[in-house]
Chains A and B, each alone.
Chain A
Amino acid sequence: MSSGPRPAEGTVLSIRVLFEKSGGERYGLTLQAFEVVLEQVACKYVPQAASQQKLEFWRDLKLEELALARACAAGHEAAWQAFLIRFREKLYDIARGITKEDSSARDLADSLYADLYGTSERDGRRVSRLNFYMGRGSLEGWLRTVLAQEFVNRYRKQKRLVSLEEQAEDGVQFSAAPAGPTSPLDSRLGAALDEALGQLAGEDRLVLASYYLDNRTLTEIGRMIGVHESTISRRLEKMLKGLRKQVMAGLVSRGMNRGQAEEALEADVRYLQVDVTRKLQENRPAAFQQDKGSD
């Protein structure tokens, strides 16, 4: 293991306190190993921080779960027993919640177990995925995120593999060539809209993308942002009103009068309805969700 610069005396005392708080000794972890882990985490997220800032950063970590994960990665038996007791069934439940199907959920969970145990070797050493857990969030949440990432990756891999028989059954060979854009979008309208969207805050843009692109419900968006769904509803309505005002103002500033701006918006709607569908099918990564139920 790599060791960073030697910490100050006060920092060592604090690390000892953090180590006792983590309970790493129960899992067979030593103070030195724990100190190395903390330094790794600090180097990744607060590389330029001073000792005191690092201490404050470390205090916010999930120390107990970090020690458990790293002890498992180091191959301590006691840690694995504790991990299995705490997370074995939970991992299957999480996978089932993601895949909505038992067999694929068990397959997903088992593959993650293999990754967590470390089937691959690097430089003669077994590499466990638990080594990438940094303690920023809970270990259960991290496992959930890792499972979701694995699920998304699997889906994207499988999406590239298309069965020719299935395509033939779907009648792809008889389908007409996709028509190109018949009435291109007015560049002034696109520029005005891009300008308005660019002025939105990141969270507002996330709300719009989740609602219009991912077809998330207000409840799901509210949970993601951490607000109530009614707040999301109000924000959406307010944002659309503001966007319309800004787009109208942008169109007017680009040489249109108000009537022309209104006409441009309404005329493009018919075109955009078809175009948006195509764009979503092509560009939207989250579109797999519409099909995953049929897989």
Chain B
Amino acid sequence: MPELSNLVRQRLAATESGASQVHPDADMLTAFVEHSLPAAERQKVVTHLAVCGPCREVVALSQPELPELVTQTVIKPAPVFGWRRLFTPGFGLAASVAAMAVIAVLVLQLPQRTAPSTAQNTQQSKVAPLQDRNSQPEERKQVPVQSAETQSTPAAVAGLSEPANERAQQRRERTEPAGPKAIAGLVAPPPPPPSKLAAKAPVLTAALQKKDYVNTNFFEANSGETITADGQSNNDFPAAPQPQPGVTMNGLSGRTTGKIAGFSDIPANADGKSNVRILTPAPPPQHFGCTLCKMAQATAHTLHLHVPTAVPAIRAGALGNSALGGPGMFSTTLEKGSPAEVSAAPEKAEGGSLARSDALSRGALSSSFRSDSAPTVWKVVGGKLIKSAGPSQWEDAYPSASGSFEFSFVNARGNDVWAGGSHASLIHSRDGGLTWEIVKLGDAATGTIVNIAGSALNVQVKTSDNQTWSSTDGGKSWTLRNE
């Protein structure tokens, strides 16, 4: 409506010429500019301003200057749309946390997803060779039934259905030539090149089949066929795992005299402590370029090296899950009901549990588990501190305490043993109970020690009087936290 605008402009200018010359004072205009005038006065000012150009000019000039809009525009961040919001600080942090959580779940879950099939086959199939070695017909009958329930491999079932005499003869043929080779391979540490290793895989596998019931069955499960004694199977076996001292130790001890012989020549483990890692089969074929798989393997390897020494030397859960990091490997609770349980822990090392076990014969295990690799189990029974001296053998670990106080709690981590009892008595051994030192909590310590927790340096002791003593220097000084 341009024509109307011009008309309005013309008529407004015409009416302004006759405007009242009584102008509002500076106070009124200031109050109008600041919007602090009452409604009635404001209306008066507005009516005057509508017809008074100079006052409108004064009002316009009296307006406080606007803040620098240009600066505001520069400072104001540009709007972010769509998926780019994920990269703004707030969303970026949340996205980072979510991504880390997903990676952590994948790292922890990936080994467990791949482990069950291997673990199941390994745990169930490893029983068979050991039973065969014991040549017990009753047990041998149980094995096919048990294997048939879980193993669907025709070759494995066929192999188990062979006559016992033939199998025994076949196994003797397998074992005798292969054993020295395996031992030689173990004594000579340098591993063969990958090609040679693959070529020797049947031989090593055959050797391990009798000695390392874990690795053997691992390959059996993977190959789907029974490995022949002469290693003439045409299957493309995966690269045979490098025989480990722990493997050989058990195999040799069972095969020979049942004593620990010649083990000083066997190189120790990588860390000298973990006895689980040496029983792990070869890692699965690596997915080249798969970062998650590498992370999972790295995590599993790291966890292997930190397996506490209290874990039994050979445990079905650990063996079954192998290097893939299954739950049984890191579990500190022993599976008492498992028929394939083999444990060096006192509860598991007893003859009864061994007899119940379908995996090992008592003779094969009687001496080997008495070796140093079997962890010492500590108990407090009847106010006395006892430790395992062998299968079903216990000995008083601290006889000097008899009569003076009664033990109530013990906490052992390898050779680091803490034990406490009445009158806030606390003793500590750093060498697995060979020597003890009496630890003085403090003059204010009272009651019976009910809990000892912590690591090597940070130790926390609780008493029955609700006292909590803590030490950060391995027991040299103690601080009462609360009472």
A: which residues have CB within 8 A of B? 60, 97-98, 132-138, 141-142, 144-149, 151-152, 156, 185, 189-190, 193-194, 197, 202-203, 205-206, 208-210, 212-214, 216, 220, 223-224, 226, 240-241, 243-244, 247, 265-266, 268-269, 272-273, 275-276, 279-280, 283-286, 288-289
Contacts and interface: CB of A to CB of B under 8 A. Distances in A.
Interface string B21-43: 00001111111011111000001
Interface string B1-36: 111111111111111110000000111111101111
B165 to A, nearest CB: 102
B336 to A, nearest CB: 79
Among all A-B residue pairs, the 9 with the closest Cβ atoms: A137-B30, A148-B61, A285-B53, A269-B3, A205-B50, A202-B47, A136-B27, A141-B30, A136-B31
Nearest to A280: B13
A210 B30 contact: no
Contacts, number: 174
Given A152-B61, A224-B60, A142 B1 contact: no
A165 to B, nearest CB: 29
Interface of B, helix, strand, loop or mixed by DSSP: helix
Contact of B46 (A189, A202, A280): A202
Q: Is the interface on chain B under 10, 10 to 19, 20 to 34, or 35 or more residues? A: 35 or more
Contacts of B63: 220, 223-224
B450 to A, nearest CB: 69
B423 interface: no
Contact of B11 (A193, A269, A289): A193
Contacts of B15: 194, 197
A220 B6 CA distance: 21
Contacts of A135: 27
B31 A276 contact: no
Interface string B311-339: 00000000000000000000000000000
Contact of B8 (A152, A193, A289): A193
B65 interface: yes
B4 A145 contact: no
A109 to B, nearest CB: 14
5 contacts: A138-B30, A197-B8, A197-B15, A209-B49, A265-B3
Contact of A134 (B3, B27, B46): B27
A97 B30 CA distance: 16
A224 B17 CA distance: 22
B77 interface: no
Contact of A193 (B1, B7, B59): B7
Nearest to B9: A212
A145 B28 CA distance: 10
A210 B9 CA distance: 10
